[in-house]
């Protein structure tokens, strides 16, 4: 790290690569199957330079070529369609993907042939059936020339540029099932007039601001992912982003030293779209939320608040945490401290912004942090991989990384003033979409904590469930629920019978298909609104309704929601003339929770498949509804006459 502070392009939230990185990469190919992916991900968790990315790529390729497994790295195909050279990008993307647990195959379109790649069904990219298509476009790709224009001329130019991008989208979308990554376009570094460029119609800055707004809207409207390259370039600085010499020599779209950063930003978005993102920020206290040690320095001695530069830095860290909370990230505390002492600033320090109520789980004791983090995840009913830890102590960070590599632990710079930006840059809380329900998620968890307290007081389970006053609403997929449905489908791992992932486009298709029984389920209780908590998708299969998908948020486990859901599904299936429900359990690393789901609900086993999947059937004419304590509201349109 340079002396002037953390530089974004060096990925300062990751540890520097170890000196033996190249050697460790070379040894990767010899490792047994289980150990390989663990070691590869450990290596990829460092701030790999372009050379390092190249080296880890080679290790992967060598292993594949030798016919060895890359399991459990998840295979994915990403196509890159760009107006520049994408060879160096391809390697960086494949190498960075290991950091996120993917075995990413990168397909490159023919150089200078973007339109052909999009529109010709037989193009390299369209034939590769990619899962994602990354449009790597810069301003040179657009059918635009900058220069002073009338407002009408500029509007026409913008429309033409957007029309072209949109034609690429439609091309890839009609020939593949890929989700597109649509980029915003950074302005060139050199102005035409100077300051005036921000308001002269037709100057790059003015023109691209309009184009980028259009691209953001296009992404939202087409179920594509928005990759804000313009924002990234601004953060890095356009001076560093653009490198005209490299464009002239090798048609590289942006400065080559930024490739590792660009690749990480692409992969974090891709991972977020598959539900891989953190749900909870766990905060250390001493020297993280305030300066000094509360146990030693006391309430008057800790540094916090306006008046001193360090005090303001810690205030800013608290503001960052609260801003995350406001967008739905759960806050927890994990500190080596005595509980009452640790709580003192929250209760009695006038400059403390975070209050006890903002913290869903507060753990202050002398036990090891890894164990405490496991507890926090358990109490929140989320995976350890949904946690991120902000801790100023390098030893604690190293310990947690070693014991629980699934936890996101950003490295922190020396100066606490830089903590907020490094945490934000880390992308640990990247989101591919944002719905109103995300914003109130933090509150669900607080409600849940209170619910479990209530549960502790009631020994009779039925009495407890009845006291919750639960109301469940079942409705067909609709436009309003689409984003959240897609989100649940892609991030629910534990209570998920088949773990089938669908894109927003797939969800839209099911919404419009009268043959598919696609249900979204919401739950309210006396403590609050849980929002959408379950999705069930049934498809006709002869005289049976095949349960393609049944998933539920673990927040509402053990409350009879499954029983109430089955009653509804069975009723609707019978109404549609089906005689059977057919269910499949497909085991994954994470869904052992529901192995006996169908047995518990009275299905009989009807076979098994390779890979451990079990098949279940329920006869509908003899089915009697399960008892539960939930009031059910049904808003599903009557079936179409067959």
Partner 1 sequence: MLDPQLTQKLTPIFQDVFDRDDLVLTPELSSSDVEEWDSLSNIRLFVAIEQEFGVRFTTDEITALNNVGELADLMTRKGI
Q: Are 528 and 517 in contact (CB under 8 A)?
A: no
CA distance 497 to 105: 28
Geometric angle at alpha carbon 58, from 53 and 64, rounded to 5°: 130
245 contacts partner 1 (rule: CB under 8 A): yes
Piece of 52-60, 288-296, 518-526, 583-591 that binds partner 1 (CB under 8 A): 52-60
Site for partner 1 in 467-506 (CB under 8 A): none
Name which position in 48, 252, 267, 485 contacts partner 1 (CB under 8 A).
Answer: 252
Provide the β-strand partners of residue 82: 136
Provide the β-strand partners of residue 362: 333
CA distance 428 to 279: 9
C-alpha distances in angstroms, 88 versus 40, 262, 266, 487?
Answer: 20, 12, 14, 32
**34 burial type by CB count under 10 A (0-12 exposed, 13-18 middle, 19+ buried):** exposed
Site string for partner 1, 257-276 (x = CB under 8 A): x-------------------
54 contacts partner 1 (rule: CB under 8 A): yes
61 contacts partner 1 (rule: CB under 8 A): no
Taking the complex as a whole, how short is the minimal distance between the CB of residue 21 and partner 1, in angstroms?
A: 9
Taking the complex as a whole, how short is the minimal distance between the CB of residue 4 and partner 1, in angstroms?
A: 12
58 contacts partner 1 (rule: CB under 8 A): yes
Name which position in 68, 166, 222, 256 contacts partner 1 (CB under 8 A).
Answer: 256
78 Cβ neighbours under 8 A, 6+ residues apart: 93, 97, 104, 105, 106, 107, 130, 131, 132, 133, 134, 270
Name which position in 39, 87, 375, 506 contacts partner 1 (CB under 8 A).
Answer: 87
Piece of 84-92, 110-118, 395-403, 482-490 that binds partner 1 (CB under 8 A): 84-92
- Pick between residue 20 and residue 543 the one whose CB is nearest to partner 1: 20
569 Cβ neighbours under 8 A, 6+ residues apart: 517, 519, 536, 538, 545, 547, 581
CA distance 88 to 260: 10
Taking the complex as a whole, how short is the minimal distance between the CB of residue 414 and partner 1, in angstroms?
A: 21
Taking the complex as a whole, how short is the minimal distance between the CB of residue 76 and partner 1, in angstroms?
A: 24
Q: Are 504 and 486 in contact (CB under 8 A)?
A: yes
Taking the complex as a whole, how short is the minimal distance between the CB of residue 25 and partner 1, in angstroms?
A: 8
Among 54, 72, 59, 71, CA closest to 28: 59
Site string for partner 1, 190-229 (x = CB under 8 A): ----------------------------------------
Piece of 71-79, 83-91, 221-229, 306-314 that binds partner 1 (CB under 8 A): 83-91
Radius of gyration of the chain from Cα atoms? Answer: 26
Name which position in 35, 38, 155, 250 contacts partner 1 (CB under 8 A).
Answer: 250
CA distance 240 to 261: 13
441 contacts partner 1 (rule: CB under 8 A): no
94 contacts partner 1 (rule: CB under 8 A): no
DSSP labels, 205-250? HHHHHHHHHHHHHHHHHHTPEEE-HHHHHHHH-HHHH--HHHHHHH
Piece of 49-57, 102-110, 543-551, 590-598 that binds partner 1 (CB under 8 A): 49-57
- Pick between residue 246 and residue 440 the one whose CB is nearest to partner 1: 246
16 contacts partner 1 (rule: CB under 8 A): no
- Pick between residue 51 and residue 588 the one whose CB is nearest to partner 1: 51
608 contacts partner 1 (rule: CB under 8 A): no
Taking the complex as a whole, how short is the minimal distance between the CB of residue 111 and partner 1, in angstroms?
A: 12
CA distance 283 to 295: 17
User: Which DSSP helix (H) or strand (E) runs through 518?
Assistant: strand 517-525
Taking the complex as a whole, how short is the minimal distance between the CB of residue 257 and partner 1, in angstroms?
A: 6
Helix count and strand count (H, E) for the chain: 25, 17
Piece of 48-56, 205-213, 381-389, 633-641 that binds partner 1 (CB under 8 A): 48-56
Taking the complex as a whole, how short is the minimal distance between the CB of residue 245 and partner 1, in angstroms?
A: 5
Whether the bond between 72 and the residue before it is cis, its omega within 30 degrees of 0, is yes
- Pick between residue 49 and residue 520 the one whose CB is nearest to partner 1: 49
Residues that bind partner 1 (CB under 8 A): 22, 49-52, 54-55, 58, 85, 87-88, 245-246, 248-250, 252, 256-257
């Amino acid at each position: 790290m340079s002396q002037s502070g953390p530089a974004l392009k060096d990925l300062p939230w990751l540890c520097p690569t170890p000196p033996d990185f190249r050697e460790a990469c070379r040894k990767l190919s010899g490792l047994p199957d289980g150990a390989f992916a663990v070691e590869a991900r450990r290596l990829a968790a460092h701030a790999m330079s372009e050379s390092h990315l190249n080296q880890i790529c080679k290790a992967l390729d060598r292993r594949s070529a030798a016919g060895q497994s890359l399991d459990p790295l998840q295979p994915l195909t990403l196509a890159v369609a760009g107006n520049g050279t994408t060879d160096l990008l391809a390697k960086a993307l494949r190498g960075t993907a290991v950091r996120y647990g993917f075995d990413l195959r990168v397909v490159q379109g023919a150089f200078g042939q973007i339109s052909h790649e999009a529109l010709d069904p037989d193009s390299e990219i369209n034939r590769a059936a990619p899962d994602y298509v990354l449009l790597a476009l810069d301003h040179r790709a657009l059918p635009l020339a900058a220069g002073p224009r009338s407002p009408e001329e500029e509007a026409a130019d913008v429309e033409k540029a957007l029309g072209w991008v949109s034609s690429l989208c439609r091309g890839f979308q009609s020939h593949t099932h890929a989700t597109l990554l649509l980029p915003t376009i950074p302005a060139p570094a050199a102005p035409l007039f100077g300051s005036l460029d921000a308001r002269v119609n037709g100057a790059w800055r003015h023109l691209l601001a309009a184009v980028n707004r259009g691209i953001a809207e296009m992404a939202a409207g087409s179920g594509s992912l928005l990759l804000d390259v313009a924002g990234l370039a601004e953060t890095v600085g356009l001076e560093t982003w653009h490198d005209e010499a490299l464009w002239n020599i090798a048609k590289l779209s942006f400065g080559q030293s930024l490739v590792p950063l660009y690749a990480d930003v692409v992969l974090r978005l891709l991972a977020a779209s598959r539900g891989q993102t953190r749900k909870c920020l766990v905060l250390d206290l001493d020297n993280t939320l305030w300066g000094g040690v509360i146990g030693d320095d006391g309430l008057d001695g800790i540094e916090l608040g306006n008046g001193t530069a360090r005090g303001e830095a810690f205030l800013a860290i608290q503001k960052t945490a609260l801003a995350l909370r406001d967008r739905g990230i759960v806050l927890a505390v994990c500190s080596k401290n005595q509980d009452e002492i640790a709580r003192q600033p929250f209760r009695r320090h006038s400059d403390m912004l975070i209050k006890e109520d903002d913290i869903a789980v507060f753990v202050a004791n002398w036990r090891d942090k890894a164990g405490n983090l496991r507890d926090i995840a358990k109490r929140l009913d989320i995976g350890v991989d949904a946690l991120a830890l902000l801790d100023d102590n390098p030893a604690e960070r190293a310990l947690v990384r070693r014991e629980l590599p699934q936890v996101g632990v950003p490295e922190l710079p020396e100066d606490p003033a830089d903590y907020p930006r490094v945490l934000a840059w880390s992308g640990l809380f990247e989101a591919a979409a944002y719905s109103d329900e995300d914003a109130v998620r933090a509150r669900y968890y607080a409600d849940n904590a209170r619910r479990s307290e209530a549960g502790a007081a009631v020994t009779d389970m039925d009495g407890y469930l009845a006291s919750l006053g639960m109301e469940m609403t079942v409705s067909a997929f609709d436009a309003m629920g689409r984003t959240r449905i897609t989100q649940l489908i892609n991030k629910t791992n534990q209570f998920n019978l088949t773990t089938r992932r669908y894109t927003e486009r797939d969800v839209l298709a099911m919404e419009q298909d009268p043959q598919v029984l696609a249900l979204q389920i919401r739950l309210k209780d006396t403590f609050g609104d849980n929002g959408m908590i379950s999705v069930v998708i049934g498809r006709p299969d002869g005289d049976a309704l095949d349960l393609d998908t049944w998933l539920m948020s673990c927040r509402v486990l053990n409350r009879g929601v499954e029983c109430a859901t089955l009653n509804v599904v069975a009723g609707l299936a019978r109404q549609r003339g089906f005689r059977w429900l057919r269910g499949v359990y497909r085991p994954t690393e994470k869904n052992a929770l529901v192995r006996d789901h169908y047995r518990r609900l009275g299905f009989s086993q009807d076979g098994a498949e390779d890979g451990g999947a079990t098949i279940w059937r329920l006869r509908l004419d003899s089915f009697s509804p399960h008892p539960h304590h939930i009031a059910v509201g049904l808003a599903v349109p009557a079936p179409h006459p067959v």
